[in-house]
Amino acid sequence: MKLHPRSKTLSLALALAAAGCGDDGSSVTSIGCNSATDCPDGQLCVDSMCRVSAVGDTTDGTSDVVPTDIEEIEDVPTIPDVAPNDVAAPKDTPPPFDPGPAPDLIPDDDAPTLIKTTPAKDATNVALPFNLQLTFSEGVKNVEDNTVSITDVNETKLAGTFEPDDAKSFWTFKPTGELMYASPYKATVNFPLQVIADLANNKFVGITEFTFFTAPPPNREKYAALAEKHAPVLRILTTEKPQYDIPVALDADGNYDLTNTKTWLDKATTKELTPTVYWDAFETESHYFIHYTWYFPFRNDGLDKSFENDASGATVVVEKWKEGVSAERPVEVLTWFKKPGGEYVRGYATNEGGVHVDDLDNEYLSGAWPEAELFVDGRPEIAITGGVHESCLWKDEGNQAACDLPLGDRIQYAASTIVLSQADAATKVKKNGSTWPRSNDAIGGAPDAKVGYKLADMLATWWPRRTQVANMFNDSFSTYSYSDNGKAKIAKFPRFFLKADKTASDGRAPWAIAWKPGDNSLYIDSLPAGQIFIDPAAHLAGRHGTPYVETAFVAASKTGFSKAWCFNPYLGIDIRGTGDVCPE
């Protein structure tokens, strides 16, 4: 029988173990020998090993028992010693196969959405120049001038360029034309072509529209200072519902929706009001014109002529130069208001200014006084009649047509008059239980307690929102055109406020005031609507017809009357800093 190498090794081990006891029963010691003399007594030298003698042994020490059952064992190969660090370096192998990311097996069926815009909807005081930024929920295509547009107040579409980011989810529109301060801009996304889609051709759903409003022109600090210096003292001749006679902000209720402001004012939870007067200012080569506007959520005449949203105001005319040097002295105040059947603009001049010469009627003035009396501490005193909000000069007794304030009536009004003065911090007019106060005593604790109103910037609030026909103004618009060195400058403005039912109110938007009185005395109606507010220099020149307004302005001597504007934001004119007569 031929054994497997492993079997041969095992047989060898068994054979060696069996050597401890021979087949003849002799004991084997571990002493090697060449002859019996090398062995202990009684032992024989058998196969070079000392053994105890047993039966069958010959005297010559040879055995008659020879193992025959162990097959010859082949030589076992020697395994060389290998040091631990002698392991052969592995052969170079290629990197494992990388199949890349697993393919997206889920189809894209989601339409892209517009998740952010900059400017945001209804954002105010947006600086010029601006960019329109659109952030979509994913990468999109077809964002261009057939799908995205911005239009200005005149509904003119802006030209510009569109730039995407690498992922095409963030797009920027950069206008390339001239932009307007204090103006509304309407953005429309996905119109007229509704083809904006993501990269899997899922279409953007619907049309997105929103409006934002740009900031007023910069560098108006000197105008703000003039507005504070000449801000009128207001004598509010209250009615039994004085909350309707206190001028407040357009957003007194926290929003610019004028259709619900009266409702807010009537709520039992409305506990306080902040008196507010709006201002703006213009500059010609020769004069400053400062408008003051007061807004009332409700006109309460007790008759069928009551309506939501009313406004009236006054304009102070300040001379820039006197004999060639800076003067900044007030020379005239105009008051303006609307009544059923008429619109009134009354003028009052100082004796020193030169507007008034001799005949008030021919000069279309309602009165003239020394500067110190007409402008007490630089401020005119204006009476606002209860309920109907006529804007009247306190010194003028008026007439039966309007501002009928004889001395006796003015004395009688004293106990129910709130006197408001401009202040850095307005006084809160607070309700006492369910009753609103009707005098400074009831507000401030003393008859002579000062009750302050705050000045608010019309160019940052009213004028930018002039196209808001959904909740502020009726959609009946007028325009006023002015020639600026042969170039037409056009101002577009709404004529009326809205009522609560969103129909046209009888309340005039201030820019639309016209000179069309119903009493047919002292006034003319040939000057266009809006001129008193948008182009007051032209209004004075057309109204008075005196040497004061007919003497042409001479820049070298800084004398005369100029209708040329250095700064008129309503007409988009600003050439300040171009010469001595139009300084920064």
State pLDDT tens for residues 368-399: 999 999 999 999 999 999 999 999 999 999 88
Q: Are residues 434 and 349 in the same domain?
A: yes
Between CA 288 and CA 316 the distance in angstroms is 8
- Whether residue 30 is contained in a domain is answered as no
**Residue 74 included in any domain:** no
On whether residue 488 sits in a domain, the answer given is yes
**Domain's final residue, options 175, 194, 213:** 213
Do 434 and 527 have their domain in common?
Answer: yes
List the CATH number of the domain containing 199: 2.60.40.1220
The average pLDDT across 429-445 equals 93
My answer on whether 164 and 240 are in the same domain is no
The candidate with the shortest Cα–Cα distance to 566, out of 584, 554, 548, is: 584
Q: Which of 51-55, 240-244, 441-445 has the lowest mean pLDDT?
A: 51-55
Is pLDDT larger for residue 536 or for residue 529? Answer: 536
Q: Same domain, yes or no, for 267 and 139?
A: no
The angle formed by the CA atoms of residues 96, 100 and 103, to the nearest 5 degrees, is 140
Q: Is residue 60 a part of any domain in this protein?
A: no
Residue 226 in domain: yes
Mark whether 250 and 201 lie in a shared domain: no
The CA dihedral of 346, 348, 354, 359, to the nearest 10 degrees, is 70
Q: Please report which confidence band the pLDDT of residue 103 belongs to, taking 50, 70 and 90 as the band edges.
A: low
Residue scoring higher pLDDT (50 or 415):
415
**Same domain, yes or no: 495 and 366:** yes
Range of the domain at 201: 114-213
Task: State the pLDDT at residue 93.
Answer: 65
Is the pLDDT confidence value at 250 over 90? yes
Asked if residue 448 has pLDDT above 80, the reply is: no
pLDDT at 523: 53
CA-based nearest residue to 209, from 187, 184, 192: 187
**Same domain (yes/no): 395, 504:** yes
369 and 517 fall within a common domain? yes
**294 phi and psi angles, rounded to 5 deg:** -115, 135
Residue 214 structure tokens: 């740009």
Any domain includes 71: no
- Last residue in a domain, options 213, 239, 260: 213
Q: How sure is the predictor about 524, in pLDDT bands with cuts at 50, 70 and 90?
A: low
pLDDT band at 284 (very low <50, low <70, confident <90, very high): very high
Q: What single string gives the DSSP state of each residue in 108-153?
A: --PPP-EEEEESPTT--SBPSS--EEEEESS-EE--STTTEEEE-T
Q: Let me know if 40 is exposed, middle or buried by CB neighbors in 10 A (0-12, 13-18, 19+).
A: exposed
Does 18 score more than 60 pLDDT? no
Cα–Cα distance measured from residue 260 to residue 155, given in angstroms and rounded to the nearest whole number: 28
Report pLDDT digits (tens) over 67-77. Answer: 444 444 444 44
> Do 293 and 380 sit in the same domain of this protein?
yes
State yes or no: pLDDT of 15 exceeds 60. Answer: no
Answer whether residue 82 shows pLDDT above 70: no
pLDDT of res. 13: 37
Are residues 167 and 242 both part of a single domain?
A: no
Within a domain: 372: yes
Q: Are 207 and 229 in the same domain?
A: no
Which pLDDT band, with edges at 50, 70 and 90, does 323 fall under? confident
Is 9 a residue whose pLDDT tops 70? no
Looking at the structure, do residues 375 and 247 belong to the same domain, yes or no? yes
CA distances from 420 to 31, 237, 299, 412, 576 (A): 137, 11, 19, 18, 34
347 part of a folded domain: yes
Number of domains in the chain: 2
Q: Which of 165, 192, 213 is the last residue of a domain?
A: 213
- Does pLDDT of 11 surpass 50? no
Q: Who wins on pLDDT, 367 or 517? A: 367
